[in-house]
Amino acid sequence: RVRGRAGRDRRTRLGQAISTSATPYAKTGQTITDTAHVSGGTNPTGTVDFRVYTDSACTGMGTLVGSGNLDANGNATSPPYTPPGPGHYYWRAFYNGDVSNSAVSGACGATNEDTLVATPHLTLVKQVSKDGGQTWLKEVTVHAGDPVMYRFAVTNDGDAGTTLTGVHVNELTGIADCDSSLTAVSPAGFAGTLAPGQTAVFPCSHTMGASDLVNTANSSGSFTPPQGQPQTVTSNNDTA
């Protein structure tokens, strides 16, 4: 407390600081939260308001997720928030202050305030050709000893931000000559990394035996979410 020359009291409030940490990643439909820590000042109490924005400049007022009460350690957590769809969600936290402590807010773009909401996904389409790849179908009729080609088209149809690595085809039927010749021909220089919207094509060759054959396969890749551990993504099974 500082007494002015005119005899008036002026309260000197110590500077507040706020640090925050939001959920780094969630799949579409899951809830996310933000946690704020208020430091400095004199035993800060009160509430922290949490807002979320869909652009990195935090334009406008954003969406008020709600408020959290500061605990004895100066921490407050937002109510759970379910984003309406995939994308990046940018948080800001606003400490409202109390009689002894100043209000303070977190900056737009602060560290750990970006939540990626996205679901990874792979789709496999398998086809067969009896004319050297001129025509691709789900079923062909051939004779024992005839050559056929299989084509596996693997598409990353997950949300933006879900680039997959180590993408490959799993031949579930186990045909030796197909397995040994299976390699990606597109995109050019494919080394296992597939961004959302991209398709990798894997052909292989097989010489037919004496019996009918239904060949089954799927595909797999790895997705590493922000601040998370790699997780395996497996496509549907498809046959030809």
* Omega before residue 80 within 30° of 0, cis: no
Beta-strand pair 114-117/25-26: parallel
The predicted model scores a pTM of: 0.85
pLDDT in tens, 85-112: 999 999 999 999 999 999 999 999 999 9
CA-closest candidate to residue 49, choices 84, 86, 7, 81: 81
What's the pLDDT band for 15 if we cut at 50, 70, 90? low
pLDDT tier for residue 6 given thresholds of 50, 70 and 90: very low
Cβ count near 51 (within 10 Å): 22
What secondary structure letter does DSSP report for 178?
A: H
